Amino acid sequence: MCRMLSRWNGRRSERSLSSRFSCGWRMGRRFLSRCRQSSWSEMKRMSKVKVLPHNKTVEVRDGVLFLAAVRAAKAALPSKCGGRGACGTCKLQVESDGALDTLSISESRMLSVQQVKAGYRLGCQVKVKGDAVVTLPEDPLRRVIRLQLEAARSAAEPSGEQGE
């Protein structure tokens, strides 16, 4: 397949993306986009990413951004800048079996030294390179609601026990 891929002339028109090679092998747009995004070895390896506190596990290809892996697990992770590393809203804590990429310039601007030591990274900048556990930060609104519910439950428990 590598020989066939090297014969592709690189034009991006509709005709060239779905053209046939001289050997008769048909290459579609979807395949070509995957080839441009990652190497052949990365396309074959799959990694499991566990997303906490939702406790969901998703299997993704190596080389995929953690932001995409979290969204594949149907978990909400805000990204106001669209994944350019400009806003810092996609912070997440990563515990990975594989080695993580070095900090990008945008990550070094958005994260403090303490956050980096604690394992925080920007989901739009770091790629999956092995099995990992990702902990999402708690949404401030959900935190307030959770604290109010816990306070209401603790206030209701003593009065419920006295009535029995």
Residue 131 CB neighbours (<10 A): 16
- Residue 156 has a pLDDT of 86
The mean pLDDT value of the chain amounts to 75
Q: Is residue 54 part of a domain?
A: yes
In a domain, 70, yes or no: yes
pLDDT band at residue 46 under the 50/70/90 scheme: confident
pLDDT of residue 106: 86
Amino acid, res. 134: V
CATH of the domain at 78: 3.10.20.30
Question: DSSP alpha helices (H): ranges in 18-139?
Answer: 29-37, 40-44, 66-72, 105-110, 113-117
Say yes or no: 66 and 6 in one domain. no
Whether 31 and 71 share a structural domain? no
Q: What pLDDT score was predicted for residue 148?
A: 92
CA proximity to 130, closest of 64, 79, 86, 70: 64
Domain assignment present for 51: yes
The reported pTM is 0.59
Q: Are residues 68 and 129 in the same domain?
A: yes
- Name residue 142's beta-bridge partners: none
Domain presence at residue 121: yes
Are both 73 and 107 inside the same structural domain? yes
Instruction: Report angle CA 67, 71, 75 to the nearest 5 degrees.
Output: 115
- Number of domains making up the chain: 2
The predicted pLDDT at position 102 comes to 83
- Verify that 50 and 123 share a domain, yes or no: yes
Q: Evaluate if residue 20 carries a pLDDT over 60.
A: no
Whether 33 and 48 map to the same domain: the answer is no
**pLDDT value at residue 114:** 92
Radius of gyration of the chain (CA): 22
Q: Look at residue 161 in the predicted model and tell me its pLDDT.
A: 54
Mean pLDDT of all residues in 20-48:
53
- Running DSSP on this structure, what letter comes out for residue 4? H
Tell me the residue range of the domain where 26 lies.
2-37
pLDDT at site 152: 92
Asked whether residue 59 falls in the same domain as residue 112, the answer is: yes
